Chain A
């Protein structure tokens, strides 16, 4: 049984990677990828759930100069309360007087609560593709986001700084620059477009596209054999836009995330998902 399952899985991978010869073939491929996704979305076969387990261990392990765990870290719902926290991030935190996303908040807790030097953590922000995972952050975010499964994305904009972040994110979305004059809008400003055969979600309008996109990160990326978070997705977008690498857990990425999550409000979280 196990062997057969593995064989069909491998067949599906091979099929998904095969070159596409015609539109009919393309539809068949899409269906097959969808079937593969459903199959692997099972928590017992999605490798992203290994990150969730490791993330839990990181959350509970005493570290740093204060030799304590992260279990008293407040992600917006009270110290140590994880259920539904990710669904309501980024948000304003009075103790830091700042709007923070999950990564920023985790780094803040590591420094303030654990007395942990985050330089090394940030250096390992993204695990190398197709090698052994080595990112505490990818694991922690997968663990925390997973605790919001079944919850609907809700972007708070009640605090003036949250509203400000939304408006800054909106400007960044439309900002054209670098050698190719690209902005986020170039690829994500219309419905039903694609790059080559890759469908592009429209992200500057509240609706299904944005909901399905934002509620599906972190995701296990088959092509990279790693769990990736929104931080990585935006970093990769800027790479393709011929921009410099954006700073990890910077205010700008958080502002963009606030904007995107507002467009995605109501999207039901089911993570780690699985993507190409």
Chain B
């Protein structure tokens, strides 16, 4: 009896703070509230609030896709990757470093036409020389060196920057090429930052 009382007390104590956090809202209502929140968006800006199929799936499953959905996203996003026509994936690492540092572009206070950066340092440790780096993504120190500067790995990396979801569905990283944040040359320059033996990433 005493034991039971103790259990009951413990059960009350460990009850989750939000008893219905697993409940889900009515999606039609969510869409309505969401559309109303961005009611002032026009033209290109209005398009930004439309979720594509991958965004829908990753939002609905909170990035933990069931197997069937995972395969679907992977297949769709793999088909979306466009590799450079000239077959070369390595650009200039010095320009890549600038792209990795820049967080400009595509915000509502940026001047239209501002060249976008990749803002890699916001989330990744990239080179030994830059100590102001974020931790949302893995460290990229010695990225090319660890991969023995393998040209196939460089191509795979180009594809991953172009479309992170083609490698990892619901990745935290933007689909830089697919969503036209970065152009082909910029992605090549980032691949060079990671794979050029002279780059500070590998020094």
Q: Which residues of A contact B (CB under 8 A)?
A: 20-23, 26, 163-164, 166-168, 170-172, 174-183, 185-187, 190, 192-198, 200, 206, 239-240, 242-247, 250-253, 255, 262, 265
Contacts and interface: CB of A to CB of B under 8 A. Distances in A.
B123 A195 contact: yes
Contact of B122 (A170, A172, A192, A196): A196
B136 A183 contact: no
Q: How large is the interface on B (under 10, 10 to 19, 20 to 34, 35 or more residues)?
A: 35 or more
Name B's interface SS.
Answer: loop
Given A206-B18, A252-B36, A195 B62 contact: no
A141 B92 CA distance: 51
Contacts of B7: none
B134 A194 contact: yes
Given A176-B55, A185-B62, A196 B133 contact: yes
A181 B40 contact: no
Interface of B: 17-18, 20-21, 23-27, 29-30, 33-34, 36-41, 45-46, 48-51, 54-55, 58-59, 62-63, 106-109, 121-123, 131-136, 172, 174-175, 179-181
Given A168-B29, A180-B181, A244 B36 contact: no
A265 B17 contact: yes
Nearest to B35: A252
A181 B131 contact: no
Contacts of A242: 48, 106-107
A176 B17 contact: no
A252 B37 contact: yes
B62 to A, nearest CB: 5
5 contacts: A22-B131, A176-B51, A180-B179, A194-B135, A239-B107
B179 A196 contact: no
Contacts, number: 140
B51 A175 contact: yes
Given A175-B59, A196-B132, A244-B108, A181 B174 contact: yes
B134 A195 contact: yes
A114 B108 CA distance: 34
Contact of A176 (B59, B109, B134): B59
B120 to A, nearest CB: 11
Contacts of A185: 62-63
B107 A196 contact: no
A207 to B, nearest CB: 9
Contacts of B41: 244-245
B48 A243 contact: yes
Contacts of B172: 186
Contact of A179 (B25, B34, B63, B174): B174
Contacts of A194: 134-136
B170 to A, nearest CB: 8
B55 A177 contact: yes
